[in-house]
Amino acid sequence: MKLFKSISLTALAVLVGSQLSFGQNNAGPAALEGAPASVFPALPYAYDALEPHIDARTMEIHYDRHHRAYYTNFIAAVKGTPLEGKTMTEIFASMSKHPDAVRNNGGGYYNHLFFWKVMGKNSSVMSPELSGAITKTFGSFDKFKEVFNNAAKTRFGSGWAWLYVTSDKTLAVGSTPNQDNPLMDLSPVKGTPVLALDVWEHAYYLKYQNKRADYVEAFWNVINWDEVNRRYKEAVK
Ligand SMILES: [Fe+2]
């Protein structure tokens, strides 16, 4: 029994260690914007890490069913086509030329990976650079929050709210339908994303039901500003 306990604890430590190292490994944009992963990427934290704001059951279904399905279907959609081996950025930049299966599943694969990374259970704060840019563009943090929340709340049906950097290196807020994102050539909201919020019902319905506004408000408690700061810095280089 003692031996079993010891082995179990060792296995647990290895598992926790690998989760931690994944979560702490703040890989550069290439990890996300590069070629699709050869295996479905791990969630960078435990299902219950964002409780009580995002519940464990929602995280489990969202990651292990919805996100996994987008990944699997995307890999199947590009397999054997000229898109196989291309980076996500390249595929998005020419999205208007590709079938809906690539658009919907490629967007779903990337957007969720992005979303997991810009959330976390930590006490990170906004960098002075990002904070300054937000004040410059929106007038204040509170005004920015209002504009972002409004984009999230008013997206009809399913989609995403984004904070992104435009081609002239300024910040903007917008929303996209379905699994579109600002990297896609066909998106009217175009730029380099730095923050994203999934407003599909599958992201919140179990806990919040029809109260999307409550979910949107709760999101502000789980933002990983370290990742958002890093993305902003990369985007304005
Ligand atoms: Fe989602």
31-74 pLDDT, tens per residue? 688 899 989 999 999 999 999 999 999 999 999 999 999 999 99
Give the three-state DSSP class for 160: strand
Q: Give yes or no for a contact between 44 and 22, defined as CB atoms under 8 angstroms apart.
A: yes
Query: What is the rounded distance in angstroms from the CA atom of residue 233 to the CA atom of residue 115?
Result: 18
Q: Report CA(2)–ligand 1 centroid distance (Å).
A: 43
Rounded to two decimals, the pTM is 0.87
Per-residue confidence (pLDDT) for residue 31, from 0 to 100: 65
Return the structure tokens found at 233: 């810095």
Q: Report CA(8)–ligand 1 centroid distance (Å).
A: 33
Q: Report CA(120)–ligand 1 centroid distance (Å).
A: 16
Q: Report CA(4)–ligand 1 centroid distance (Å).
A: 39
Residue 220 φ/ψ region, left for φ over 0, alpha for ψ in the -120 to 50 degree band, beta for the rest: alpha
Q: Report CA(34)–ligand 1 centroid distance (Å).
A: 21
Q: Give yes or no for a contact between 170 and 138, defined as CB atoms under 8 angstroms apart.
A: no
Q: Report CA(195)–ligand 1 centroid distance (Å).
A: 14
- Phi and psi at residue 119, to the nearest 5°: -120, 160
Q: Report CA(200)–ligand 1 centroid distance (Å).
A: 6
pLDDT digits (tens, 9 = 90+) for 167-207: 999 999 999 999 999 999 999 999 999 999 999 999 999 99
Q: Report CA(89)–ligand 1 centroid distance (Å).
A: 20
